[in-house]
Amino acid sequence: MRLSSFFMPTLKETPTEAQIVSHRLMLRAGMIRQTSAGIYAWLPLGYRVLRKIEQIVREEQDAAGAQELLMPTIQSADLWRESGRYDDYGKEMLRITDRHDREMLFGPTNEEMITDIFRAFVKSYRQLPLNLYHIQWKFRDEIRPRFGVMRGREFLMKDAYSFDIDPASARRAYQRMFLAYLRTFARMGLKAIPMRADTGPIGGDLSHEFIILAETGESGVFCHKDWLSLDVLKDAPGFADDLQPFFDRTTAIYAATDEKHDAATCPVPESDLVSARGIEVGHIFNFGTKYSKPMNAVVAGPNGESIPVEMGSYGIGVSRLMGAIIEASHDDNGIIWPDAVAPFDVGLVNLKSGDAETDRVCADLYAKLQTAGREVAYDDREERPGAKFADMDLIGVPWQLVVGPRGLKTGVVELKRRATGEKEELSIDAALAKLA
Ligand code: ATP
Ligand code: MG
Ligand code: MG
Ligand code: MG
């Protein structure tokens, strides 16, 4: 992408409406635009990152054996009356009436709809286990939308739903998602701690929230200090293995949200207990037959008996993750994207656009890096070098390749690593070999 034609409306000034650093940086980098309270348009730079995050989530869901489908955003109120949640959900649900006066709603979650799809087609225990997920926009009329995409009203969620014949099988489904979540967040460079959590209006008994520790987080959390240095995926099993031992040893290290934490019964001595704030980036539930019973999602068992299926649901805040990643990875100059979610792999900085030799070398590098499969942000604008460096740091591209007439005299370019600020001078070929 040539930045001279890329739609990236960066801001020089710090936007005053943004209270936390991730929101400020997303606005300054021209990634999002609020269109009404808690509702955002994703500008090209932001959308590139959103798709990267989404793709990592997708790959790990697929690896865990879940299957992707796509359900609509608009749902019928009737389905929610069947589960009893239409009235329970309250003002967070955006209710809509169509031209025939039918009651509809913009889905805040999809348990009812997936249960309806399931019961229409799945009739035998032989078709189980099954885990279906989608990545779709949700709407919750949050009382206080804030912190940019962190607490939006419209937001992108991955939600998966598991169906099993008995509690033991449902537990295995839960453990597969537990592992998939740890792998997903680790791939984004995040340390997410699974914490015992309240099940809230979704109901059930077994539940974990995945929390990124951050001062700006909206959840109060408690965990054993061992979590801070733990490499949770070291020696982790694969999805085909028995996950029970891994699940047991991981959940044995204390971690709980403030709803679940009780100082009186907490097994961790105070000196080892960390009390902190955190961002909820994922939440998994096992809720048994809470929906299958009222909605009559039953299958025939081995002896022909009718069995309500055991269910679980598993959410990830895909759009919230972008804020969480920035909260966890930035400095005074801007965002520091982990490689896996960066909008571009390489930022190519032309120090003197219009200089024939510099332009020629840059165009050549740009072409070769792209041929090698790298996504390149080529800053070919007629700006001062200082402005170009500032923008590259702001948008957080992991590698910056700086090309100018002075270096070219001796055949060298400069390569900078955004995360460390480390710079080295290299020949053009050596730089290509390193990046391609
Ligand atoms: P919160 O406690 O932050 O309100 P929640 O517990 O209501 O979240 P869940 O119903 O568990 O949310 O939804 C699954 C995931 O969706 C959450 O873990 C979170 O990452 C994300 N999410 C929920 N609400 C929002 C929102 N308003 N904006 C962005 N992401 C959200
Ligand atoms: Mg909520
Ligand atoms: Mg919550
Ligand atoms: Mg939750």
Query: What does the pLDDT look like over 135-175, one tens digit per residue?
Result: 999 999 999 999 999 999 999 999 999 999 999 999 999 99
Of 172, 164, 140, the C-alpha closest to 154 is: 140
Q: How far is the CA of 234 from the centre of ligand 3 (A)?
A: 28
Q: Please tell me the distance from the alpha carbon of residue 147 to that of residue 213, in angstroms, as a whole number.
A: 16
Atom of ligand 1 nearest to the CA of 316: 15
Ligand 1 binding residues, C-beta < 6 A: 109, 140, 142, 151-152, 155, 157, 280-283, 315, 317, 319-320
**DSSP output for 378-397:** EE-SS--HHHHHHHHHHHT-
The pLDDT tens digits for 4-22 are 999 999 998 888 889 999 9
Q: How far is the CA of 16 from the centre of ligand 4 (A)?
A: 29
Report phi then psi at 76, rounded to 5.
-90, 140
The pLDDT tens digits for 217-255 are 999 999 999 999 999 999 999 999 999 999 999 999 999
Q: How far is the CA of 143 from the centre of ligand 2 (A)?
A: 10
For the chain, percent of residues with pLDDT exceeding 90: 97
Q: Please tell me the distance from the alpha carbon of residue 22 to that of residue 15, in angstroms, as a whole number.
A: 12
The ligand placed nearest to the CA atom of residue 282 is 1
Atom of ligand 1 nearest to the CA of 321: 20
ipTM above 0.90, yes or no: yes
User: Is the pLDDT score of 203 beyond 60?
Assistant: no
pTM over 0.90? The answer is yes
Q: At a CB cut-off of 8 Å and minimum separation 6, what does 179 contact?
A: 64, 236, 237, 239, 243, 246, 247
Note the pLDDT of residue 201. Answer: 60
Of 153, 140, 144, 137, the C-alpha closest to 34 is: 153
Q: Which residues pair with 388 in a beta bridge?
A: none
Strand-strand pairing, 130-139 and 67-68: parallel
User: Is the pLDDT score of 425 beyond 70?
Assistant: yes
Long-range contacts formed by 365-372: CB under 8 A, 24+ apart: 365/401, 365/403, 365/413, 365/428, 365/431, 365/432, 366/2, 368/432, 368/436, 369/345, 369/432, 369/435, 369/436, 372/432, 372/435, 372/436
Average pLDDT over residues 20-36: 98
Q: How far is the CA of 282 from the centre of ligand 1 (A)?
A: 8
Average pLDDT over residues 77-87: 96
Other Cβ atoms within 10 Å of 413 Cβ, number: 24
- Find out whether 359 and 382 touch, Cβ atoms under 8 Å: no
